[in-house]
Amino acid sequence: MARYKILVVDDDQNIVDLVRLYLERDGYQVLVAYDGLEALRLARQRRPDLIVLDLLLPEVDGLDVCRILQTESKVPIIMLTAKTTEEDKLIGLELGADDYVTKPFSPRELVARVRAVLRRVDQEAPQGPTEMHFADLVIDRRSHEVRVRDEVVNLTPTEFQLLEVLAEEPGRAFTRLELLDRVFGYDFVGFERTVDVHVKNLRKKIEPDPKQPTYIQTVYGVGYKFSED
């Protein structure tokens, strides 16, 4: 297994030390930062494969760090949040984070989330055609790249896999639970609105009019389907 580089960002040294212990025990190389400015510096200079990012940080808060990095790279982000309401948990996802973990958390669960997200980044070569073409949309499965009207669209690993799963079976209606299973894996302990947030983000990036989507259509009472028409 490649030795992935993980950046852990939290202003609580006890949490950083605990997460680093479990990640290193699992074979990962760990970088650490205790504020948002240091997180941005390390992300730009050391180019980690994944970032575990606390929401509440000094200097630059975690939401701003997430927002900035999403414009600069495709690095996957797992947010750490002490907030407990459903809306608070979804804020990070709406900014492009791939997953979130609520404090207090199990270090083993966090490591499992890290593994799951990295699996989405480092999938084996796809079976079947390496490119899928739909009108102005091209999904290049080999390079994990999506182009809309010949312009590359920056998707997170989760967004890419969600689009790929839907586009592999145009016209099929997927329930939210099916998409959670197919995209996040059975070890993801989440809720169905997680899918809604990722679909919303995906529509903003690939649809000519996200409010009247062409590709990713809502199947009321069921979930979502991909339309190739």
- Tokens 């240091």 belong to 38
Say whether domain 5-121 belongs to CATH 3.40.50.300: no
Per-residue pLDDT of the chain (229 residues; tens, 9 = 90+): 458 999 999 999 999 999 999 999 999 999 999 999 999 999 999 999 999 999 889 989 998 999 899 888 889 999 988 866 667 667 777 777 888 888 888 899 899 889 888 887 766 445 556 788 898 999 988 788 899 998 999 888 889 989 999 999 999 999 988 888 888 765 555 567 788 989 999 999 999 999 999 999 999 988 999 997 6
Q: What confidence score (pLDDT) does residue 157 get?
A: 83
* Structure confidence at residue 28 (pLDDT): 94
Q: How is the chain split into domains, by residue range?
A: 5-121, 131-226
Q: How many CA atoms lie within 13 A of 201 on its CB side?
A: 26
Fold of 131-226: Arc Repressor Mutant, subunit A (1.10.10)
